[in-house]
Amino acid sequence: MSDESRLAVGVDVGGTTIAAGVVDDGGRVLADLQRPTHGGVGAETTIVELVERVTAAAGLDVARVAGIGVGVPALVDAGRGVVGPEAPHVPELAGRPLAEIVATRFGVPAFVDNDVNALALAEWQFGAGRGTQSLVVLAAGTGFGSGIVLDGVLVRGAHGLGAEFGHTPVKFDGRPCWCGGRGCLAVYASGRGVAEAARERVAADRDSALLRDAGGDAARITAAMVFAAAERGEPVAAAVVDEACRALGATIAVVVNGLNPEVVVITGGVAASYARLERRVLAAAADHALSRAIAATRVVIVPGDKRVTVRGAAALVFYELARAGTAGAPHAWRPS
């Protein structure tokens, strides 16, 4: 590799897997590796070892890459590169100054942000939003994250608490959400929400084929099982999936009516299931969105995988380095 300054290392920290990749400024993943998040050595050590190994696998001197980005499934103080006081999926990282730790260890600029903010930057720089000035990512995984780019700037909110469309209320008297609210999109349309909604319904319908799919044990019902059962017409699953599509459509309408982005990207681990339901999701969005606004918006469903998420953390590096060269505060921790 001739020009290492055009390369970044992206690390995606997930609740079960940590992935690292060497990514170029066109979004190509040149090498990538994964390890379990809770493998025994601790998430911080796993991050450092993955950076060492993935750069070695690509034949690179890590000290010469443009920077290292880390996406974390938590609120992050991106300005200080510190993971928020709560990190439910990776509790050991709560409050940790990850950017400083990584920058000091490797001697290159390091950046930390919420994983879906990073994903939004990847879709904007390399993916479905390439060439636009605005996009919103809705990421349906175990939970439900989102990220916003407006006028070419990642929107984090005044206190870093923005871009949480997963907690858009879609039902006033709906089911309680793990955020403390009620009737949120996440409890209807995330992987966890779909599975839990189905478990509640089979409790009142012990003869359902969905319960038989789970071997008679409601606790074993997964979102994938619910989507598959709905596709063959199983009534309990079909009702849950119908609600999921309507909730997702209503939230697309909130996004479109409120922000008028050029592109809305639906991605994440559950996106493959929604891709098969695209017409229903778009019809639900059209039920609620202002007609001119939704007609002018490109809605794209992009099934996610780990290679995409490492591109997100790398996109964070390219985005922040470009910004540091212009106006605004660089969200970087640089080695001294």
Residue 97 within binding range of Zn ion, rule CB under 5 A: no
Consecutive H or E run containing 23: strand 17-24
Query: Quick one: which of 228, 289, 299 has its CA closest to 257?
Result: 289
Nearer to Zn ion, 177 or 237 (CB): 177
Residue 199 within binding range of Zn ion, rule CB under 5 A: no
Phi, psi of 60 (to 5 degrees): -115, 150
SS3 at position 200? helix
Type of residue at 183: G
Residue 9 within binding range of Zn ion, rule CB under 5 A: no
**Termini Cα distance of the chain:** 27
Can you state the percent helix, strand and coil of the chain, rounding each to 5?
A: 45, 20, 35
What is the closest distance, in whole angstroms, from the C-beta atom of residue 182 to Zn ion in the complex? 8
Nearer to Zn ion, 184 or 310 (CB): 184
Residue 112 within binding range of Zn ion, rule CB under 5 A: no
Q: Which residues contact 108 (CB under 8 A, 6 or more apart)?
A: 62, 63, 64, 65, 66, 67, 68, 335
Residue 329 within binding range of Zn ion, rule CB under 5 A: no
Residue 223 within binding range of Zn ion, rule CB under 5 A: no
Residue 181 within binding range of Zn ion, rule CB under 5 A: yes
Residue 187, token pair as written in the block? 């409890």
Residue 184 within binding range of Zn ion, rule CB under 5 A: yes
Binding region for Zn ion (CB under 5 A) out of 161-169, 249-257, 283-291, 296-304: 161-169
Nearer to Zn ion, 109 or 183 (CB): 183
Residue 162 within binding range of Zn ion, rule CB under 5 A: no
Nearer to Zn ion, 177 or 282 (CB): 177
Task: Choose, by CB under 5 A, the member of 96, 167, 201, 246 that binds Zn ion.
Answer: 167
Residue 68 within binding range of Zn ion, rule CB under 5 A: no
